[in-house]
Structure formats: structure tokens, C-alpha cells
């Protein structure tokens, strides 16, 4: 907000009050004006001047918010925030107002961050006051995701979550799950041979099956597995319920109104989603507990946490914490990793030259006689760069999840009010042309070319969140995407599908809106590079049934 004006030459309201046919000290009969010399007029003038002075002081002393688009009374900028792909509008605003933009929506202060510097300064360096979550009544309270890792407020329980996840799936702990990831990816290739046209369903199956295996030691059935369906259903409602725009998030009191009233359909939907969320959290946890009791539990996140650091188990009150950590890990990993994998298939369809270079690198290492394994990663720099570009090109969470400011803060001379919602525009960070030249192009070589500091940096520093809210499963997610990319390109060619007339169909880069953004359905043609891969993939030495 600018300085409060000391003169009002263009303010029509003041002109109407102070002037009629001339200045106030010119008597105007037949009106409500009084000569300035009269006691009444003098008193009115003193009161008016005092009021103006008080208002001036108020405006002058009010801390200045970051710049942003002009809103309208009461609603603020609420009508300017689109329901579809809001990150694109936020990105456009950053070009006009800068890397820190202030919005108001029905009185709620919203701060949009669009530079690595601002994100580092606030969400990382000042994480103690920027790591909380805003109240999302629909998702956290009505549907019941409030105890999940994404929805949990910043406090003691959150710190316990992070302690467990750091031990089990941190950079070192994640390495113990690589063999299971390799086996799961080989199973995916087998399904791809059988019905390549169903690649999207196969991607979703392998991701859900892998997460269930890693989290609970559960082996998913090849077809129509109940828990796989539970995962997919639960994560779909998580993404929808956490998407901004639910009226109950803006006016929480309406949650107590009868569900049959017009406009209260969200209550009925919340009941359905709540039952699905409960099933997703509780059912697989009961499975792993029963396996531990019978002595048949496989190596998994949940089994390791329930056994405790010293193997003596955990106290009963810790089981609830472990149950929600496990649900958060496998729930959060399923939809997000599937989005990255589907982006890979889309990119290979649109960029055949990238695919060719990747396959040449793999063949030079393996001789076309085996599938690459994770131990090959250091010797496949182009594949590594390709995976980085998948994380950047269309980030799975374009806006991440919102942060909440626990106490008033000041940044660059601006006020950040307590209770503000802070959103990092991850999509903009990864499409800033000054940081990533030609950002809309899928170009793995950008990470292999020499560049000054700050140019073409590893996008994982933004794609997986920030500071104390960074995704704890990022190492598992990254390694599983790498394996799917490397093993798929070793054995398959991916190209454009053709229509009935034999003409290639070029898919569009259309992505869904939501907390998790994934490619909308598209077609591509997937074929084995040679017949020998059918035998190699099926061979026991590269494939072990999950």
C-alpha cells in the first residue's frame, strides 16, 4: 500500500464534501454549507481535520505488505485466482509485481513466493515460523487427513514423524529398498509386454504395489488387488480435498449446517471420502501387525518402525504415530510417483531424439544383453539428467502444499502478517527462463552443459518441497523413477500412436489441476526393441515375482 495522500486533488468524495460552487469559506445559501467563520463550521472543520490526521497516521504506521494485484472490497483477489492451473496466473503476477506477491481472499492474507532466494530465506532459514499448515477444514477435519504428514501442524508430533522417517527412508535407509524397487520395475516391464496399450494402468499398479511392499511388506496381486484400489481411491480424494476452493475452508462454521441444505453437498462428499481415507490408513496397518505377530513380516517401513531402533518394539501410544506415518508415506508416494512416470512416457513420445540418446548410453554400458540396475546409475549420466528433467518439466506438485505463518514477520521491509498462507510457486521456480533457459523444452542436456552457478541446477531442490516440510520419501521416489526410466528404455521403444489413416497422433501437454498434477490420458505406441527382451525380462535372473 502506498503512502496516504496529504492532498486529495482527484478524490471525488472529498471534493463533494469540501466544495460546491467554491471553497468552504464562501457562503452558499440554499445548501448545507456554512461559512468557515461560524462556530459550527469551525468545530466541524476541527473534527474533520482530526479524523483525516488519525487516518493518515494509521495508514502511515500500517506495515507495508508485499506488492500485488488490486482486489475488490470484501472479496479481495478471490475472484482473480483461477480454479484451473492457478500456478500459471501466479507466475504471470510475479512478472508484474516481483518474486514476493501479496493477495487477499475474503480477508485471508496469501503470500506467493516465486524465487529460490525468497523460498530459501523464508521457508528454509525461517522454518521455525513458516513450517505450519493452514486449517483446511475439508481435508484435515471433515475427510480426516489431519494426522497425515502433509496435514499435520508443526509441533511435537510432527517432529516425531520426521525422526522416524529420517531413520527409515533417509538417504542411507532408502538404499536397503533398492532390490525391491528393481524387482517391481521388472514386473512392470512384464505387464507392459502383455498389454502396452494399458501403460497408464500398469504404471499405477506398479507404483501402488511397490509402495505397499516397501511400506507394509504386502505383495499385491497381479490383477484387481483390493489394497491397490484402496490406495488409488484414497489418494484421489486427498488430492481433491486439499485443492483450494472449498467453501467450508473459507467459512468453517457452515460445516455444522444440515447436509440436505442447498450448497452443502461437500458434507456428503466428505463422508464418502472419510470412509475411504480410514480404509487406506487402517487396513494395511492391520496386515503388517498381524504379520509381525505371526513372525512372517517382510522387511518394510512399518515393520522396522514397529520393531523399534533396538528391536524391542514400541510403546502402545507410538503405534498411532507409526500408522499415520506409514499411511502418509505410501499414500503420498503412490500418486506422485505415478505422475512422474507418466510424464516420462509423454516426454519420450514428444522427444524421440532424447529417447535415442538415452538408449545409446544404456546400450554402450550393457551391450544390449541385460537390464540396467541401480548400481549403474553413476555410469549413466544422460539417464540421470533425463530423470532430473522429468522432475522439472512438469512438477508433480506445482504449488506444493501451503505453509502457514505462526507469527508476524518482516521481509525486505514488508510485513508478513501472522496467519498468512505462504505458497511456493514450484512451477515458476522450475520454469524461470533466467534459471532454466528455454524452460518449456524437455532438454536433459541442460544439466550436462557447463553453466554458471544458479543456472540449470538440480530441480530436486524445489520439486520435493522445502525446509522442514521437504518430502521425506524423495530418495525412494527418485530411485524408483530412475529405475523405471532406465529399464524401460533398455527394452522398449516409445513413439506416437497412429490414427485410422496411419497418421501420427501428437499428444498434448495437458495436465490436471489439483494438489498433485498428472498428465491427462494420452496415447502412445510401445514396442519391444527386439524379441530377445521378452526372454530376458522373464528370465529369473532379472525378474522375481513380488
Digit-coded pLDDT (tens) for 475-510: 999 999 999 999 999 999 999 999 999 999 999 999
Three-class DSSP category at 88: helix
The Cα–Cα gap between 415 and 224 comes to 53
Digit-coded pLDDT (tens) for 122-160: 999 999 999 999 999 999 999 999 999 999 999 999 998
Please, which pLDDT band fits residue 90 given cuts at 50, 70 and 90? very high
Mean pLDDT computed over 294-318:
85
For position 16, what pLDDT does the model report?
26
Please, which pLDDT band fits residue 391 given cuts at 50, 70 and 90? very high
CB neighbour class for 332 (10 Å; exposed up to 12, middle 13-18, buried from 19): buried
Q: Does the pLDDT of residue 10 top 70, yes or no?
A: no
For position 533, what pLDDT does the model report?
94
For position 383, what pLDDT does the model report?
99
Mean pLDDT of all residues belonging to the chain: 86
Q: Does the pLDDT of residue 36 top 50, yes or no?
A: no
Q: Does the pLDDT of residue 116 top 70, yes or no?
A: yes
Mean pLDDT computed over 32-59:
40
Mean pLDDT computed over 341-368:
98
Helix-helix angle 316-350:156-169, to 10 degrees: 60
The Cα–Cα gap between 239 and 252 comes to 20
Looking at 20-24, 123-127, 401-405, 499-503, which range is the least confident one?
A: 20-24
8 A C-beta contact, residue 402 and residue 416? no
The Cα–Cα gap between 351 and 345 comes to 10
In order of their start, the domains of the chain are 12-61 (no CATH), 78-538 (1.10.630.10)
Task: Write the CB contacts of 238 (distance below 8 Å, at least 6 apart in sequence).
Answer: 139, 143, 145, 148, 277, 331, 335, 515
8 A C-beta contact, residue 143 and residue 277? yes
Q: Between the CA atoms of 57, 61, 66 and 68, what dihedral angle is there, to the nearest 10 degrees?
A: -20
Tell me how far the alpha carbon of residue 271 is from its chain's centroid: 24
The Cα–Cα gap between 196 and 528 comes to 10
Instruction: Decide which of 13 and 271 is more confident.
Output: 271
Digit-coded pLDDT (tens) for 218-269: 988 877 889 888 888 888 888 889 887 788 988 899 999 999 999 899 999 9
Please, which pLDDT band fits residue 278 given cuts at 50, 70 and 90? very high
Tell me how far the alpha carbon of residue 74 is from its chain's centroid: 29
Looking at 1-5, 7-11, 466-470, which range is the least confident one?
A: 7-11
- Name the one residue in this structure whose C-alpha cell is 514386473: 187
8 A C-beta contact, residue 421 and residue 404? yes
Please, which pLDDT band fits residue 299 given cuts at 50, 70 and 90? confident
Mean pLDDT computed over 316-327:
90
What are residue 415's phi and psi, to 5 degrees?
A: -90, 135
Q: Does the pLDDT of residue 381 top 60, yes or no?
A: yes
Q: Does the pLDDT of residue 77 top 50, yes or no?
A: yes
Q: Does the pLDDT of residue 332 top 90, yes or no?
A: no
For position 334, what pLDDT does the model report?
79
The Cα–Cα gap between 163 and 131 comes to 16
Q: Among residues of the chain, what percentage have pLDDT more than 70?
A: 87
Q: Among residues of the chain, what percentage have pLDDT more than 90?
A: 67
Q: Does the pLDDT of residue 13 top 60, yes or no?
A: no
8 A C-beta contact, residue 187 and residue 546? yes
For position 272, what pLDDT does the model report?
97
26 known ligand binder: no
The Cα–Cα gap between 105 and 247 comes to 12
Task: Write the CB contacts of 305 (distance below 8 Å, at least 6 apart in sequence).
Answer: 164, 168, 314, 322, 325, 326
8 A C-beta contact, residue 63 and residue 98? no
For position 224, what pLDDT does the model report?
81
For position 309, what pLDDT does the model report?
74
Please, what sign has the CA dihedral across residues 191, 194, 197, 198?
negative
- Name the one residue in this structure whose C-alpha cell is 523444452: 441
For position 63, what pLDDT does the model report?
66
8 A C-beta contact, residue 482 and residue 377? yes
8 A C-beta contact, residue 316 and residue 461? no
Looking at 59-63, 161-165, 257-261, 472-476, which range is the least confident one?
A: 59-63
Q: Which secondary structure element, helix H or strand E, spans residue 415, and what is its range? A: strand 414-416
Digit-coded pLDDT (tens) for 199-227: 999 999 999 889 899 999 998 887 788 98
Please, which pLDDT band fits residue 368 given cuts at 50, 70 and 90? very high
Nearest to 480 by CA among 230, 154, 68, 175: 175
- Which three three-digit cell numbers place residue 334? 503412490
Please, which pLDDT band fits residue 539 given cuts at 50, 70 and 90? confident
Within 242-380, residue ranges assigned H as helices are 247-250, 265-294, 301-307, 316-350, 352-366
For position 18, what pLDDT does the model report?
26
Q: Does the pLDDT of residue 304 top 80, yes or no?
A: yes
Q: Does the pLDDT of residue 58 top 70, yes or no?
A: no
Amino acid at each position: 500500500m502506498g503512502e496516504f495522500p496529504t492532498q486529495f486533488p482527484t478524490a471525488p468524495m472529498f471534493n463533494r464534501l469540501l466544495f460546491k460552487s467554491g471553497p468552504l469559506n464562501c457562503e452558499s445559501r440554499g445548501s448545507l454549507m456554512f461559512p468557515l467563520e461560524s462556530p459550527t463550521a469551525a468545530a466541524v472543520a476541527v473534527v474533520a481535520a482530526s479524523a483525516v490526521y488519525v487516518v493518515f497516521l494509521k495508514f502511515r504506521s500500517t506495515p507495508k505488505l508485499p506488492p500485488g494485484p488490486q482486489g475488490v472490497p470484501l472479496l479481495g483477489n478471490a475472484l482473480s485466482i483461477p480454479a484451473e492451473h492457478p500456478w500459471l496466473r501466479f507466475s504471470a503476477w510475479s512478472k508484474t509485481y516481483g518474486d514476493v506477491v501479496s493477495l487477499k481472499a475474503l480477508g485471508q492474507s496469501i503470500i506467493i513466493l516465486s524465487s529460490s532466494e525468497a523460498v530459501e530465506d523464508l521457508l528454509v532459514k525461517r522454518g521455525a515460523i513458516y513450517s505450519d499448515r493452514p486449517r483446511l477444514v475439508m481435508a484435515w477435519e471433515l475427510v480426516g487427513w489431519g494426522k497425515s504428514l502433509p496435514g499435520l501442524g508443526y509441533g511435537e508430533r510432527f517432529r516425531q514423524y520426521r525422526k522416524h522417517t529420517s531413520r527409515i527412508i533417509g538417504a542411507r535407509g532408502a538404499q536397503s529398498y533398492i532390490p525391491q524397487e528393481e524387482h517391481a520395475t521388472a514386473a512392470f516391464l512384464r505387464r507392459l509386454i502383455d498389454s502396452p496399450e494399458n501403460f497408464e494402468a500398469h504404471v499405477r499398479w506398479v507404483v501402488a504395489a511397490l509402495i505397499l511392499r516397501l511400506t507394509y511388506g504386502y505383495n499385491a496381486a497381479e490383477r484387481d488387488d483390493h489394497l491397490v484400489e484402496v490406495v488409488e481411491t484414497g489418494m484421489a480424494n486427498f488430492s481433491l480435498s486439499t485443492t483450494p476452493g472449498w467453501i467450508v475452508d473459507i467459512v468453517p462454521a457452515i460445516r455444522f449446517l444440515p447436509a440436505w441444505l442447498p450448497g452443502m453437498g461437500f458434507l456428503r462428499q466428505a463422508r464418502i471420502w472419510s470412509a475411504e481415507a480410514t480404509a487406506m490408513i487402517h487396513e494395511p496397518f492391520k496386515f503388517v501387525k498381524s504379520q509381525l505377530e505371526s513372525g512372517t513380516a517382510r522387511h518394510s517401513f512399518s515393520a522396522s518402525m514397529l520393531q523399534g531402533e533396538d528391536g524391542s518394539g514400541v510403546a502402545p501410544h507410538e503405534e498411532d504415530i507409526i500408522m499415520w506415518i506409514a499411511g502418509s508415506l505410501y499414500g503420498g508416494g503412490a500418486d506422485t510417483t505415478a505422475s512422474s512416470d507418466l510424464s516420462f512416457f509423454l516426454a519420450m513420445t514428444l522427444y524421440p531424439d532424447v529417447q535415442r540418446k538415452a538408449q545409446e548410453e544404456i546400450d554402450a554400458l550393457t551391450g544390449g544383453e541385460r537390464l540396467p540396475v541401480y548400481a549403474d546409475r553413476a555410469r549413466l549420466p544422460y539417464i540421470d539428467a533425463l530423470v532430473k528433467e522429468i522432475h522439472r518439466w512438469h512438477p508433480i506438485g506445482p504449488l506444493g502444499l501451503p505453509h502457514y505463518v505462526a507469527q508476524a514477520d518482516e521481509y525486505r521491509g514488508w510485513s508478513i502478517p501472522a496467519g498468512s498462507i505462504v505458497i511456493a510457486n514450484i512451477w515458476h521456480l522450475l520454469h524461470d527462463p533466467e534459471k532454466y533457459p528455454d524452460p518449456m523444452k524437455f532438454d536433459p542436456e541442460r544439466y550436462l552443459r557447463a553453466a554458471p552457478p544458479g543456472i540449470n541446477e538440480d530441480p530436486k531442490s524445489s520439486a520435493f518441497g522445502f525446509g522442514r516440510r521437504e518430502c521425506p520419501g524423495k530418495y525412494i521416489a527418485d530411485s524408483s523413477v530412475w529405475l523405471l526410466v532406465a529399464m524401460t528404455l533398455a527394452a522398449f521403444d516409445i513413439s506416437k500412436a497412429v490414427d485410422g489413416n496411419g497418421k501420427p497422433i501428437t499428444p498434448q501437454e495437458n495436465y490436471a489441476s489439483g494438489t498433485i498434477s498428472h498428465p491427462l490420458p494420452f496415447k502412445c505406441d510401445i514396442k519391444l526393441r527386439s524379441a530377445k527382451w521378452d526372454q530376458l525380462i522373464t528370465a529369473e535372473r532379472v525378474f522375481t515375482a513380488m
